[in-house]
Chains A and B, each alone.
Chain A
Amino acid sequence: DAGVIQSPRHEVTEMGQEVTLRCKPISGHDYLFWYRQTMMRGLELLIYFNNNVPIDDSGMPEDRFSAKMPNASFSTLKIQPSEPRDSAVYFCASSLEHDNQPQHFGDGTRLSIL
């Protein structure tokens, strides 16, 4: 079991640039989650998918953020245009269909917007 795979591990870019974060969930998991972690706000849920369909995107901070899941094995979180306050660690997690199953996290993408 390869676990949840995120890429890149680190991203440094200038403000105004488009940033795309990628996630491959654990095979067979029907739920996929995107989180953001900062020192000030802790860990926040941005959006989650069930069977590739976005269910709740109320945590997405602004229209600059968008997420897609074109198939069961791939998801992207895009920021366009990026701003310095978007600097954070972004985590992807996945879980099985049943509600009371633990979430499995990737190692995150550390994003720095200069």
Chain B
Amino acid sequence: KQEVTQIPAALSVPEGENLVLNCSFTDSAIYNLQWFRQDPGKGLTSLLLIQSSQREQTSGRLNASLDKSSGRSTLYIAASQPGDSATYLCAVRCSEYSSASKIIFGSGTRLSIRP
């Protein structure tokens, strides 16, 4: 059974710092991995999606990496800003499902950027 873990559960850093959020999964047979952002009282916003054949994806100040063999993914945020404060979740799509989207979510990292 696939399990997705995110550590730490919460992180507070001063504005301007670069930071890394971690995600680990127990079964390396994944189809893809996705990073989401969730603001309070809102739904999830997809940030980056990495296919199993890819090593990383970049969007602006965000860079996500994937190492299937070790069951790890990281989300790198450069030059953090107070507006980056949110909960970040990673989600793994399990490849044993022949059709779309059996997705397992981590519990998230609550990020706070101090001005």
Partner of A91, one of B31, B43, B91: B43
Please tell me if the beta carbons of A43 and B43 are within 8 angstroms of each other in the complex: no
In the complex, residue of chain B having the shortest beta-carbon distance to the beta carbon of A102: B46
In the complex, residue of chain A having the shortest beta-carbon distance to the beta carbon of B99: A55
Interface string of A13-49 (1 = CB under 8 A from B): 0000000000000000001010000000011110010
Q: How extensive is the interface on chain B, given as a class?
A: 20 to 34
Partner of A31, one of B100, B102, B105, B106: B100
Partner of B34, one of A44, A45, A102, A106: A102
A80 on interface, CB distance cutoff 8 Å: no
Please tell me if the beta carbons of B44 and A105 are within 8 angstroms of each other in the complex: yes
Which residues of the other chain, B, contact A56 by a CB distance below 8 angstroms? 97, 99, 102
Which residues of the other chain, B, contact A42 by a CB distance below 8 angstroms? 105-108
Please tell me if the beta carbons of A108 and B43 are within 8 angstroms of each other in the complex: yes
Q: A42-B107, A100-B32, A100-B49 are in contact. Are A48 and B41 (CB under 8 A)?
A: no
Please tell me if the beta carbons of A45 and B100 are within 8 angstroms of each other in the complex: no
Which residues of the other chain, B, contact A45 by a CB distance below 8 angstroms? 101-103
Q: How far is the CB of B45 from chain A (nearest CB, A)?
A: 7
B-side interface residues toward A, CB under 8 Å? Answer: 31-32, 34, 41-46, 49, 51, 89, 91, 97, 99-103, 105-108
